[in-house]
Amino acid sequence: MIEMRQTRIVWLGILLAVPAYGQGQSQTVAPSQVYGQVQTPTTTADANATQAPLVLTLQDALTRAKTNDPQFRAALTELGLAHQDTVQSRAQLLPNVNYNMQFLYTQGNGAPTRTTPPTPPTPPAGRYIGNNGVHEYIAQGNVHQALSPGMLADYRRVEAAEALSRAKAEIATRGLVVTVVQAYYGYVVAERKYATAQKATSEADHFLGISQKLQNGGEVARSDVIKAQIQDQQQQRELQDALLAMNKSRLDLAVLLFPNFDQNFSVVDDLRLPDPLPPFVEVQTAATKNNPEVRVALASLRQTDQEVKVAWAAMMPSVGLDYFYGIDANQFAVRDRNGFRNLGYSATATLQLPIWNWGAGYSKVKQADLHRQQAHVELSFAQRRLLADLRSFYDETETSRAQLESLGQTAELASDSLRLTTLRYQAGEATVLEVVDAQNTLTLARNAYDDGQVRFQVALANLQTLTGSF
């Protein structure tokens, strides 16, 4: 019994000797830098640990997103369908060739076959006057050509529809770039913020240790240690939130890039101070030439113009031409039993004149004209919207770039402020509140600089949706 009590006392002493959570001991894992990124075991828990992570650049992310994004693929599918419509419409303008084989059997009328020389034998006639005998064999090639004013107008309408789909595909491409930029750099900044939270937690732990030493030496009051403990616990919670945000942004990026939801990847942190923007005049010129929204409006207008022509052409005469060559005889042979050739040709020409359709043709013309009027309005609006968005996006990009230098300087000043304030506190010249304020200011300044980097990249991507790359 005495030995058991002594054992319990020893274990109780060991438990009491272990420091409590947040009491001057760091609970974080130091980040390792791979290609400028923070790598943590938690973020790759579902990945295959036996394989090296795939390192992705922004261009790699764009390439993968173009393969896996359903909305972008839908736009490409619509473009492919529109191109096939153009091929089919062009084929209607050209002659087409068919080969037809047919056998017609008709019940005979019972008339005997005449065989008295020199009269040749006469086969019995069929009971249906529409057929040319009891047995009739048809094997013919047919060249068919339809001629109508509406065919050419319809082909031009389909061409305009393909141009419209191509412009929409370009809009989808540029919109996908914005989406990828947001997700990619959102993850990069989430990693930076996690690293910032780790540093802030380490600094809070360090300051807690300083305050505890000063309290033990009788240089500060117990309230300073309590304030340092509160700050340390707050930083621990913010570290957990930063880790959660980083994991969420990683999942969002994985959904966008990988069809099998692979999370074993890392990204390249290429955020830096960007180059100055080109002058607004150059940007405006590029937007005038390369804006897909205006191209969509123009293609829609051309399509509606052709729809009006198609509606008018439907009330015009049309011609059909057919040429037949082959066999249409009572024997399936090149020559019949009397030695005459069964091979031959025939040709037909058909003229169709629309006379009366109860006003349906004029109604279609009115419908097409209403579509054309709406297309004019949409084109005018697209041109005005382009001018407004161009100025707005350019100002946003220019402002965000100008603020990056200031945000970087603020982060450097906040770092120096924390270092100097901590030294002053150790010398008894600053209060604990000043140190805590300096710590919070540094964290906010670092995060603001990282947010400014993302803001510029997204603003630049939005600007290039109007102008293309520059």
- 202 in Cβ contact with 48 (< 8 Å): no
pLDDT tens across 352-384, in order?
A: 999 988 989 899 999 999 999 999 999 999 999
- Whether residue 402 is predicted with pLDDT greater than 70 in this model: the reply is yes
Residue 201 burial (10 A CB sphere; 0-12, 13-18, 19+): buried
- Whether residue 11 is predicted with pLDDT greater than 80 in this model: the reply is no
SS3 322: strand
Query: pLDDT band at 88, cuts 50/70/90?
Result: very high
pLDDT tens across 182-208, in order?
A: 999 999 999 999 999 999 999 999 999
Enclosing H/E stretch for 101? strand 96-105
For position 410, what pLDDT does the model report? 95
Buried b (16+ CB within 10 A) or exposed e, 67-91: eebeebeebeebbeebeebbeebee
CA distance 209 to 407: 31
For position 438, what pLDDT does the model report? 94
- 418 in Cβ contact with 236 (< 8 Å): no
Q: In the chain, pLDDT over 90 holds for what percent of residues?
A: 65
For position 36, what pLDDT does the model report? 36
pLDDT tens across 128-152, in order?
A: 656 677 888 889 999 999 888 889 8
What are the extents of the domains in the chain?
A: 52-94+149-316+358-470, 98-147+319-353
Kindly report the pTM of this predicted structure.
0.75
Of 12-16, 141-145, 160-164, 302-306, minimum mean pLDDT range: 12-16
CA distance 225 to 213: 9
- Whether residue 120 is predicted with pLDDT greater than 60 in this model: the reply is no
- Whether residue 124 is predicted with pLDDT greater than 50 in this model: the reply is yes
More confident residue, 122 or 69: 69
The average pLDDT across 91-96 equals 91
- 78 in Cβ contact with 70 (< 8 Å): no
pLDDT tens across 277-327, in order?
A: 999 999 999 998 889 999 999 999 999 999 999 999 989 999 999 999 999
The average pLDDT across 229-238 equals 94
Query: pLDDT band at 462, cuts 50/70/90?
Result: very high
pLDDT tens across 29-46, in order?
A: 333 333 334 444 344 444
SS3 299: helix
The average pLDDT across 403-422 equals 94
- Whether residue 19 is predicted with pLDDT greater than 50 in this model: the reply is no
Q: Which one, of 26, 410, 24, 409, lies nearest residue 197 by Cα?
A: 26
CA distance 109 to 247: 89
- 66 in Cβ contact with 72 (< 8 Å): yes
Enclosing H/E stretch for 187? helix 149-216
CA distance 265 to 253: 10
CA distance 290 to 295: 8
SS3 173: helix
CA distance 122 to 336: 12
Other beta carbons less than 10 A from residue 432's beta carbon: 20
- Whether residue 10 is predicted with pLDDT greater than 60 in this model: the reply is no
CA distance 435 to 222: 16
CA distance 93 to 348: 19
Q: Which CATH class is domain 52-94+149-316+358-470?
A: mainly alpha
For position 334, what pLDDT does the model report? 85
CA distance 252 to 280: 34
Average pLDDT value over all residues in the chain: 84
Structure tokens at 44: 């790759």
The CB-side HSE value for 141 (13 A sphere, CA atoms) comes to 7
